[in-house]
A and B are shown apart, each in its own frame.
Chain A
Amino acid sequence: METDTVSVLSPVTGWICLAIFGTAWIVIGILLGRKASNLEGYLLAGRNVGMALGAATAMATWVTSNTVMLAPAFALKAGIWGMVAYCTASFGLFLFAPVTKRIHQILPKGFTSGDFVRIRYGRKAWILFLVITIIYSMAWLVSMGIAGGILLHDLAGIPYVWGMSVILFVCVAYTLFGGLYAVIGTDFVQSVIILIGVALVGWLVIDKGGLADSYQHVETHSPMLMKVMLAPALLSLFNNLFFGLGEVFHNNVWWSRAYALRKDVAPKAFALAGFLWLPIPIAAGFIALSAGPLGINVTDPNTAGPVVAGNVLGQAGAVLVFIVVFCSLASSVDSLLAATSDLMAEDIYRRLFNPRANDATVRKAALFSVLGLGAVTWMLCAVSTQDILLVLFLSGGLVASTIWPIILGLYWKRTSREAAFYAMLSGSVLGVVAYFQIGWFSGALVGAVVSMAVVLIGTKLRSEEPFDWNRLPSEDQNH
């Protein structure tokens, strides 16, 4: 006899919430999109985003479906250390904050992260970088579509394919109409809802379950979750840290925000976003750990957080959880759609296939990229689940291998182009090998370690002409 977990909300309520918020995002996107009169406006929101919008968009983008699903799962699987491990992802935002200043300094007219790698390290490293970032971005995008479908199903009984399709449709629509203006504008509203929602839900759940009861229950039923010496949790600490660092340092989601934010506010906005994001995995983790004393059976740790919160708070609370989940999904999907389509239009279309393309043509390419990405993501979400999630976890080694080449390339003119290429290549390959041979907790860690060693040793051994910083702004302006 199979018993399905009963949804917290009725499908009708779920559809009403989806319709209201989906329409709201599209309307906001279209209204804000009117500002995007040229390519810079469409791709980078006119390079004039201020502190409030900047911090909000960085924070909201970092609250992904992974935060909603994996942070509670980390707490359930790895306890206190698991929550701390997940929080280390905020280090990516903290450490990227000073880097944004450097990006403005050396690439004031840059468009993508690919621009920097291409000019700084040459075509070979750039192609490898594009492969890494496209694999990762697609896996991240598809994983969020899948997570969205699963969460909407578990919370409101909306069929997986319909829930996933609506999320993708809404995000594609407003990104298409409004570009980064729409993404950043909706991110602001979404980040306010997420912050208030998570704080409120966390407080209500802990109030109902009681911290003492939660501790007592976990101590009896899952004793190792409260122990300091829990091997897999300790291992996940640095792996997660480097995964987060790699994601932020290489991905165009963050670089496009660095370009879009005003030079004086970018570092502060990223640092503030890190502080705003930091408590969210802790709150989500505590919600999941409250399941036991509240008498809620966890069947799937990945959906435990929202399902527990929805069950405990009744219909009104469940609507709040549903809205928070929808906001967190939309705020990340739109950012990835916008940033990855920039990369495809600017780096792949203009740089690889049509160097003479003018801004209007590139903007068209960006529009088609958003549509194409949406369609491909929908197809992958509809046909596959586990394979894509595996690709996402595997890509930890790939993204972590870019950390050191990016940092050294930004600040040290003697960093070798060849060494940077081989650092990314060897870090990626050995990171994937480590994932399979040592365990899931080692992919990003090994990728970062190997990449650092190769780029440092390679630069030391290989004598190349020091990089001329003047090439960055001059070549970047040759659009």
Chain B
Amino acid sequence: MAHAIGGIGPLYSPPVSLVAFCVWLSWLFVAFSSGVTQKSPVFTQPGKDARLIGEGVLSLEWKFEASGEKETLQRFELERADNPKFTNPDTFEPDQETAFEVTGLKEGVHHFRVRAILTEGQQKEDQPGPWSETLTVEVSFAPVFVEPASSLEGDKEDYLNEEGIVPLEWSYEPDTEDRTLERFELERARDRKFSEPVTYQPGLDTESFLSGLEEGDHFIRVRAVFEGGTVTPWSKPLWVKVNYVAWWKVWTLMGLGAVVFVATVIAVILGAARANREVPDAVKENAG
């Protein structure tokens, strides 16, 4: 081992190190000037993890600034896929516009990304820039919980509560004007399959309040019911976990409370009993 280190020793002699540093610096310069740091577009509309309710029409907007003066924007390239790896994507070409309306989106989760296609200086070949960060949008024709919001991933509970209460709020836009909304229907169950659901009737309100839930997991979903009995699909279930306050904490605080309360009652009773012994002289005189 010592020999091996001795063998590479000359590489780190001062002159060689200086040369190596200069080479690294040159590489950095070349890398920067050749567009490795080229900027990607940034989605501005809709926000991150957006939810689209209703018609399946999505307006996308993004901003983009070319990183050098010599670059010329040719067009943007927009992709949509139903998977985050963008296998078999649909490609859209919004030309040089920084906005695009995607129509006919089906119910489910959609992923979008956009990149700029540029030319640099006298070059005639298109140079694709880096992709933007992926924008995930959920399209739903069913109501969607906005409070608490259900996450798109679904591997962690959406709402953790220590008191067994859940304030609920959902959004809903009818996908067609032909039907008249009669009411919403809310279900809660202990499993994702909703095998033994408890039904709540919030009427036409888009809010409700559940309380007195047992400890553990609860799944809640909502749907719209129209006149004539037709219904929307159920919303994506909301996963609520109830973890009541630890019992040691309850008994400790209750024990302290009981002791202080009993002491307070005794103090008032004892005080009232001895009140006549500790009084101003004027009061004693009056009593006498």
Contacts and interface: CB of A to CB of B under 8 A. Distances in A.
Interface of A: 1-3, 5, 76-79, 95, 98-99, 101-102, 105-106, 218, 220-226, 230-232, 234-235, 237-239, 241-242, 245, 295, 297-301, 403-404, 407-408, 410-413, 438-439, 441-442, 445, 448-449, 452, 469-470, 472-474
B203 A297 contact: yes
Contacts of A442: 253
B241 to A, nearest CB: 14
B271 A473 contact: no
A469 B272 contact: no
B163 interface: yes
B209 A301 contact: yes
Contacts of A95: 264-265, 268
A335 B210 CA distance: 36
Contacts of B270: 411
Contacts of A300: 207, 209
B254 A238 contact: yes
Contacts of A3: 204-206
B270 to A, nearest CB: 8
A1 B181 contact: yes
Given A1-B206, A231-B247, A223 B257 contact: no
B188 to A, nearest CB: 8
A99 B271 CA distance: 9
A77 B211 contact: yes
Contacts of A79: 212
B244 to A, nearest CB: 4
A311 to B, nearest CB: 11
A226 B213 CA distance: 11
B142 to A, nearest CB: 13
Interface residues of B, number: 54
Contact of B280 (A106, A225, A411, A449): A106
B3 interface: no
Nearest to A469: B280
B74 interface: no
Binding site secondary structure of chain A: helix
Contacts of A298: 208-209
Contact of A223 (B162, B181, B203, B212): B212
Contacts of A410: 271
19 contacts: A1-B172, A98-B272, A106-B280, A221-B200, A223-B212, A224-B213, A230-B244, A232-B163, A238-B254, A238-B256, A297-B203, A297-B208, A299-B207, A300-B209, A301-B211, A413-B278, A445-B260, A448-B260, A469-B279
- Cβ-closest 4 pairs across A and B: A238-B257, A222-B212, A411-B271, A225-B212
Contacts of B206: 1-3
Given A222-B213, A235-B253, A473 B282 contact: yes
Contacts of A407: 264, 267-268, 271
Contacts of B173: 1
Contact of A106 (B163, B245, B257, B279): B279
B281 interface: yes
Contacts of B253: 235, 238-239, 438, 441-442, 445
A258 to B, nearest CB: 14
Contacts of A301: 209, 211
A449 B208 contact: no
B205 A77 contact: no
Given A238-B253, A297-B200, A411-B271, 14 more contacts: A95-B268, A102-B272, A105-B279, A221-B198, A221-B200, A222-B210, A226-B212, A235-B250, A404-B264, A407-B268, A411-B267, A412-B271, A452-B260, A472-B280
A473 B173 CA distance: 71
Contacts of B128: none
A143 to B, nearest CB: 20
A442 B261 CA distance: 14
Nearest to A102: B275
B214 A224 contact: yes
Contacts of B264: 95, 245, 403-404, 407, 448, 452
A452 B261 CA distance: 10
A299 B211 CA distance: 12
B249 A438 contact: yes
Given A234-B250, A411-B274, A222 B268 contact: no
A1 B174 contact: yes
